[in-house]
Amino acid sequence: MQIFIRISLFLQEYIINRISDMNNLPKIGKYNFVAEPFHCDFTKHLFIGHLGNNLLNAADFHSNDRGYGVNYLNSVNKTWVLSRLSVELDKIPAIYEDFVVETWIDSVMRYFTNRNFKITNKDGYVYGYGKSIWAMIDTTTRQPVDILKTSNETISEYLEADYANPIKKSSRVKLDDDLKLQQSILTTYSDIDINGHVNSIKYIEHILDLFPIEYYKKYRIKKFDIAYIMESHNNDKLNFYTNIDSINECNNTVSVRVTKSGFKEEKEVCRCQFSFG
Amino acid sequence: MQIFIRISLFLQEYIINRISDMNNLPKIGKYNFVAEPFHCDFTKHLFIGHLGNNLLNAADFHSNDRGYGVNYLNSVNKTWVLSRLSVELDKIPAIYEDFVVETWIDSVMRYFTNRNFKITNKDGYVYGYGKSIWAMIDTTTRQPVDILKTSNETISEYLEADYANPIKKSSRVKLDDDLKLQQSILTTYSDIDINGHVNSIKYIEHILDLFPIEYYKKYRIKKFDIAYIMESHNNDKLNFYTNIDSINECNNTVSVRVTKSGFKEEKEVCRCQFSFG
């Protein structure tokens, strides 16, 4: 009987905590994922694209739960767009491993907000970190809007500036000068996400597909940093400029510039650096 | 106090059921998924490819839990390969919807086994069904092996022949005669799965990318049936032959034959039919 009373007290406390959580959510959101077998590459580690999608999912759950996510924003013709994503990884989750994505916002300005990610296993082992910058746009004009004037500043109630993230503040993504056209593709149905444009993570997948598979037998991604400059849409011609040929044992960082055709001059869509180790 | 005693009794029963489940798993496995926002297309419904991956994940969890999955098979140089997948859908899960994949095996022969899928929401509403045929191969020779002689026939202990699946027994996938070469691609890193070959679901994604996006504004997939004939690998040239041009309001079924180059004659990799509604 004693044990049941103890379990009952535990249950009571759990229920009370749940109710109080709903009204007063923690600033840091925690979301559980698993490296599902069909989300893993031939080395039996999670595809970086799937990890990236999980980061975006965590951001989406966290902001929606706190009243400033796309569920609310879509009702007032606004949405979040990812402007910058930096990820540094000590290790990539292996097949069947559970992992946790913690996410929090440390600051908000009129036109940008900083979102952090920490990727751990359930015992607290740290796989890596992420840092991102988001803008809010009007879905009709596609122009930036004042974040602080939207959603009654709810976002400011959940700022967490003291939780450590070793990734330094983003500076401009610098590209090497000697980039050559590596490949061009036409975007298709599966590139397009719920916002009607090419999904941010799809650029990363297309970029990783530029490397010969032998490369992934020797190296794995340690770090990437991507700046999103302009949207692209279905059936756009994307051009990938890289210096893949120049990487070797001493230089393991690759620059990639993605442009889209269909204008007098090609326009830059995103620019990024990937480091292997 | 009364309520806590009731909760405690419920808990006790739950714990006893869990322990008995671990020793004697049900024949039908049930797995929960959610239509994550970044797994949804521009219509805000789950991409068919992601639904397909969830079916394969459910199959993997179900067979591993019962001792005849790839976790065990890899230790004896064997693996499962998907030979056939038929899916019929009344509705596709919408963004944020929870859904459940039930899976069970109804029969097993020397070289093939039949796996069923039922896709519902948590209230039992049925989105659709799937039926699949799997073979077991030796990972060294890539040749079929006798399923009944492997894993001490554990698989036979979990047959469930009475749970209804309205999808009829698979017959040969018949293709129309007038197929034309629609596109050729070279497979890349992200096409390759943990087994080192092109992932079964990736063929479906490449096929769905053959359709203009406007098609998905008018129609959605009601049914598909795909037969996998031969493996393909990284950097293989895949050719997609279709009769996409002949579909219209009266004929909403498309045939697709996928071949690979690099032989005297192209070899058939898979053949399928997709019906829209």
Q: What share of chain A is helix, strand, coil (3-state, %, to 5)?
A: 30, 35, 35
Contact of B190 with chain A, judged by CB distance below 8 Å, is answered with: yes
Q: Does B65 touch chain A if contact means CB atoms closer than 8 Å?
A: no
B176 and B155 in a common domain: no
Please state, rounded to an integer, the average pLDDT across all residues of chain A: 90
Q: Greater confidence, B269 or A151?
A: B269
Chain B interface includes A37 (CB < 8 A): yes
CA pair distance A13, A28, nearest whole angstrom = 21
Q: What is the pLDDT of residue B130?
A: 98
Do B151 and B190 sit in the same domain of this protein?
no
Same domain, yes or no: B80 and B138? yes
* Residue carrying the six token digits 């490296």: A35
Residue found by looking up tokens 């966290």 in the block: A62
Q: Select the residue from B50, B213, B276 to test the A interface by mutation, using most A Cβ atoms within 10 A.
A: B213
What six digits make up the tokens of B121? 């929401």
Q: Looking at B167, B192, B210, which one is the last position of a domain?
A: B167
Query: In the predicted model, what is the mean pLDDT of residues A206-225?
Result: 94
Residue-level pLDDT at A11: 52
Q: Does A167 touch chain B (CB under 8 A)?
A: no
pLDDT of residue B187: 98
The pLDDT of residue B150 is: 84
Residue B180: inside a domain = yes
Q: Which of A1, A8, A38 should be substituted to probe chain B, the one whose Cβ sees the most B Cβ atoms within 10 Å? A: A38
At A92-136, the pLDDT tens digits run: 999 999 999 999 999 999 999 999 999 999 999 999 999 999 999
- For A19-50, the pLDDT digits (tens) are 444 457 999 999 999 999 989 999 999 999 99
> Same structural domain for residues A161 and A175?
no
pLDDT at A138 over 60: yes
pLDDT at A171: 76
Angle between helices A200-208 and A48-65 (to 10 degrees): 170
B44 found inside a domain: yes
B150 and B212 belong to one structural domain: no
- Residues A39-64 have a mean pLDDT of 96
In percent, the amount of chain A with pLDDT more than 90 equals 77
Structure tokens at A268: 């830059």
Same domain, B91 and B143: yes
The pLDDT tens digits for A66-89 are: 999 998 999 999 999 999 999 999
**A68 vs A4, A111, A148, CA distance in Å?**
41, 15, 11
Asked if residues A234 and B213 have their Cβ atoms less than 8 Å apart, the reply is: yes
State ipTM.
Answer: 0.88
**pLDDT at B235 (0 to 100):** 96
CB within 8 Å: A40 and B194: yes
Q: Is residue A22 part of a domain?
A: no
Question: What is the bridge-based pairing of β-strands A221-228 and A78-89?
Answer: antiparallel
**Residue A208 neighbours by CB distance under 10 Å:** 21
In this structure, the answer to whether residues B32 and B157 fall within a common structural domain is yes
Quote the pTM value. Answer: 0.89
> Is the domain of B143 the same as that of B199?
no
Number of neighbouring beta carbons within 10 Å of residue B155: 19
Which pLDDT does position B18 carry in this prediction?
A: 43
Binary contact (A37, B60; C-beta < 8 A) = yes
Within a domain: B214: yes
pLDDT score at B185: 97
> Chain A, 212-271: which have a CB under 8 Å from a chain B CB?
213, 216, 234-235
| Residue ranges making up the domain that contains B249 | 171-276
Which CATH number characterizes residue A216's domain?
3.10.129.10
**Yes or no, beta carbons of B57 and A49 under 8 Å apart:** no
CB neighbours of A223 closer than 8 A, spacing ≥ 6? Answer: A86, A87, A88, A89, A273, A274, A275
The answer on B231 and B264 residing in a single domain is yes
B94 touches chain A (CB under 8 A): no
Residues of chain B below pLDDT 50: 14-22
Residue A15 within a domain: no
Residue A42 has its nearest CB partner, among B41, B70, B193, at: B193
Do A47 and A131 lie in a common domain? yes
Q: Report whether pLDDT(A12) > 60.
A: no
* B131 and B46 in a common domain: yes
Q: Reduced to 3 DSSP states, what percent helix, strand and coil does chain B have, rounded to the nearest 5?
A: 30, 35, 35
Residue A71 covered by a domain: yes
Give A169's DSSP letter. P
> Do you know the residue count of chain B?
277
A221 shares its domain with A162: no
B252 falls within a domain: yes
| DSSP structural state of residue B125 | -
CB A104 within 8 A of CB A55: no
Final residue of a structural domain among B140, B167, B194: B167
The count of C-alpha atoms lying within 13 angstroms of the C-alpha of B176, restricted to the half-sphere facing its C-beta, is 18
B50 to chain A, minimum CA–CA distance in Å? 10
Distances (CA, A) of B238 to A187, B36, B142, B225, B257: 18, 30, 20, 19, 10
B155 and B71 Cβ atoms separated by less than 8 Å: no
Q: Which of B116, B142, B167 is the last residue of a domain?
A: B167
The count of structural domains within chain B is 2
DSSP H helix total and E strand total for chain B: 5, 10
The reply to whether A72 touches chain B by the CB within 8 Å rule is: no
Q: Is residue B13 part of a domain?
A: no
Nearest Cα neighbor of B241 from B221, B269, B214, B218 is: B269
| Shortest Cα–Cα distance, B95 to chain A (Å) | 9
In angstroms, the separation between the Cα of residue B79 and the nearest Cα of chain A is 13
Closest alpha carbon within chain A to B69: A37
Q: With a cut of 80, say whether residue A64 has pLDDT above it.
A: yes
Contacts of B53 in chain A (CB under 8 A): 36, 38-39
